[in-house]
């Protein structure tokens, strides 16, 4: 039966702030997640299996690059719609949201923002439809929070560039058709290159034995004298600001996505607490349980308002990097805290795959680290409000 059997917690009638179209987008992605992701995700996570077929389905429903203009195959939607999509997908699983986030914010966005017209026409429609899967190479084995110290580099060989180096912790890499890679040129400037699977010397070994984002595929990007055609250089990105703008876009999606994971944990715990009886009454009737649930809905409500306001600023072109950073940090921390508290309400059942909580909790350990760690985001806010950088 076509129906939506999940209602987002909406303690402050935040739905009244959404347009009918935004609610339609949320409903569509919610139905998509209920139909395509919920039935398989626990099994995929248990088996550390990336359901590759979901890439095509994400493309069909329009989950890739929803804010990219329609002429390049995107959705042409606003940022609150994009945020709501990420929320719904991450209600299913952070790994699935990571797949969509990377494709939209870290691959399509830089090609749209910094690419030539030829590059946009060549890659964006295929990425939007899911025919191509993309990945984003910034982090290196020895350079995580400090990407400006990267060592991956390329040399101008006249008719091509020669790329050398390695990237690590790259979502989608083992299955990616293309990689947007950030590397230093001979003058030490960070530039973006589009590297295609099949280029000689380019390999993507998988990272195994993760306890987090197990349904998402992660790997490395290794460049051993890779000849990259000159037309694959992103002409309009010059310097670290290029990849950092991409991260702004991805962090924005994470700020919304984390709410989805938190909602799933909260709703699971609330329902369980009402049904589970101990000492002759539902455990929801005990003060300590109510305290946990009350804190959860309060924090979700605050996170929803933060995300909605940030989305409005994004739509007006006014959202700043520190504002996005704050929302990412706050909302992911909120979600992981709720996952841990929800797990306690479920007792022993909380650690099993019968319920989604432990999976969300383990996923969120990655989410709180990637796209800028929790600590680094605190320093971004600290630097913004004091004018003094603490991480240089």
Partner 1 sequence: MKILVCISNVPDTTSKISFTDNNTKLNTSGIQFIIGPYDEYALSRAIELKEAAGGTVTVLNVGEADTEPTIRKALAIGADDAIRVNAFPKDAFYVASQIAAIAKSENYDLILMGRESIDYNSGLVHGLVGELLGIPSVSPVMKLDVEGGKAVMSREIEGGKEIVEASLPLVAGCQEPIAEWKIPNMRGIMSARTKPLKVVEPASVTDNIKLLNYELPAPKGACKMIDASTPEKLFDLLKNEAKVL
The residues carrying an active-site annotation are 371
Report residue 386 as tokens. 């004091």
| CA atoms of 249 and 303, how far apart (whole Å) | 18
271 binds partner 1 (CB under 8 A): no
Identify each DSSP E strand in the chain by its residue range: 134-137, 153-156, 160-171, 178-184, 190-196, 202-203, 218-229, 277-278, 281-282
How far apart, in Å, are the Cα atoms of 12 and each of 9, 302, 337?
Answer: 9, 9, 21
Report residue 67 as tokens. 């804010």
75 binds partner 1 (CB under 8 A): yes
Q: Which of 37, 45, 55, 77 binds partner 1 (CB under 8 A)?
A: 77
| CA atoms of 318 and 136, how far apart (whole Å) | 25
How far apart, in Å, are the Cα atoms of 41 and each of 48, 271, 373?
Answer: 10, 21, 26
25 binds partner 1 (CB under 8 A): yes
CB 136, CB 180: distance < 8 Å: yes
Q: Measured from the CB of residue 6, what is the shortest distance to partner 1 in angstroms?
A: 9
Residue 236 is given by DSSP the state T
Report residue 141 as tokens. 């084995």
38 binds partner 1 (CB under 8 A): no
CA atoms within 13 A on the CB side of 211: 4
Contact window for partner 1 (CB under 8 A) among 25-33, 100-108, 227-235, 263-271: 25-33
Nearer of residues 74 and 372 to partner 1, judged by Cβ: 74
Contact window for partner 1 (CB under 8 A) among 20-28, 151-159, 208-216, 264-272: 20-28
35 binds partner 1 (CB under 8 A): yes
| CA atoms of 301 and 13, how far apart (whole Å) | 10
Give the count of residues interacting with partner 1 (CB under 8 A): 25
27 binds partner 1 (CB under 8 A): yes
Q: Measured from the CB of residue 37, what is the shortest distance to partner 1 in angstroms?
A: 12
208 binds partner 1 (CB under 8 A): no
Nearer of residues 77 and 273 to partner 1, judged by Cβ: 77
Report residue 182 as tokens. 């950030």
62 binds partner 1 (CB under 8 A): yes
Q: Measured from the CB of residue 185, what is the shortest distance to partner 1 in angstroms?
A: 37
| CA atoms of 64 and 97, how far apart (whole Å) | 10
Residue given tokens 């962090």 in the structure block: 251
Instruction: Give the x/- contact pattern for partner 1 in 148-187, rule: CB under 8 A.
Output: ----------------------------------------
Q: Measured from the CB of residue 5, what is the shortest distance to partner 1 in angstroms?
A: 6
Nearer of residues 21 and 224 to partner 1, judged by Cβ: 21
Nearer of residues 100 and 342 to partner 1, judged by Cβ: 100
CB 216, CB 95: distance < 8 Å: yes
Task: Give the residues lining the site for partner 1 (CB under 8 A).
Answer: 1-5, 7, 20-21, 23-25, 27-28, 31-32, 35, 60-63, 66, 70, 75-77
């Amino acid at each position: 039966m076509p129906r939506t059997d999940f209602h987002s917690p909406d303690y402050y009638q935040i739905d009244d702030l959404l347009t009918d179209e935004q609610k339609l987008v949320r409903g569509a992605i919610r139905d998509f997640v209920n139909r395509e992701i919920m039935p398989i995700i626990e099994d995929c996570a248990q088996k550390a299996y990336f359901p590759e077929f979901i890439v095509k389905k994400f493309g069909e429903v329009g989950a890739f690059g929803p804010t990219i203009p329609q002429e390049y195959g995107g959705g042409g939607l606003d940022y609150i719609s994009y945020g709501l999509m990420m929320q719904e997908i991450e209600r299913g699983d952070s790994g699935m949201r990571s797949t969509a986030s990377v494709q939209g914010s870290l691959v399509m966005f830089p090609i749209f923002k910094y690419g030539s017209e030829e590059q946009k026409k060549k890659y964006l429609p295929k990425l939007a439809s899911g025919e191509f899967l993309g990945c984003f190479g910034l982090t290196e084995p020895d350079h995580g929070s400090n990407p400006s110290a990267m060592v991956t580099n390329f040399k101008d060989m006249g008719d091509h560039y020669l790329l050398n180096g390695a990237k690590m912790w790259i979502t989608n890499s083992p299955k990616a058709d293309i990689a947007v890679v950030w590397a230093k040129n001979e003058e030490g400037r960070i530039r973006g290159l589009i590297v295609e699977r099949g280029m000689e010397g380019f390999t993507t070994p998988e990272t195994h034995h993760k306890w987090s984002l197990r349904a998402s595929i992660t790997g490395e990007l290794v460049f051993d004298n890779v000849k990259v055609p000159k037309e694959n250089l992103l002409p309009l990105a010059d310097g670290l600001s290029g990849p950092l703008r991409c991260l702004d876009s991805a962090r924005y999606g994470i700020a919304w996505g984390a709410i989805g994971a938190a909602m799933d944990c909260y709703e699971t715990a609330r329902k369980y607490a009402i049904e589970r009886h101990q000492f002759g009454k539902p455990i929801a009737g005990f003060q300590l349980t109510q305290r946990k649930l009350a804190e959860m809905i309060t924090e979700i409500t605050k996170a929803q308002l933060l995300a909605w306001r940030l989305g409005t600023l994004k739509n007006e072109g006014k959202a700043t990097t520190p504002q996005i950073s704050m929302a990412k940090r706050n909302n992911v921390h909120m979600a992981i805290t709720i996952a841990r508290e929800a797990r306690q309400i479920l007792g022993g059942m909380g650690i099993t795959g019968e319920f989604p909580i432990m999976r969300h909790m383990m996923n969120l350990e990655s989410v709180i680290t990637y796209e800028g760690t929790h600590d680094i985001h605190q320093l971004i806010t600290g630097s913004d409000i004091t004018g003094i950088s603490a991480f240089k």
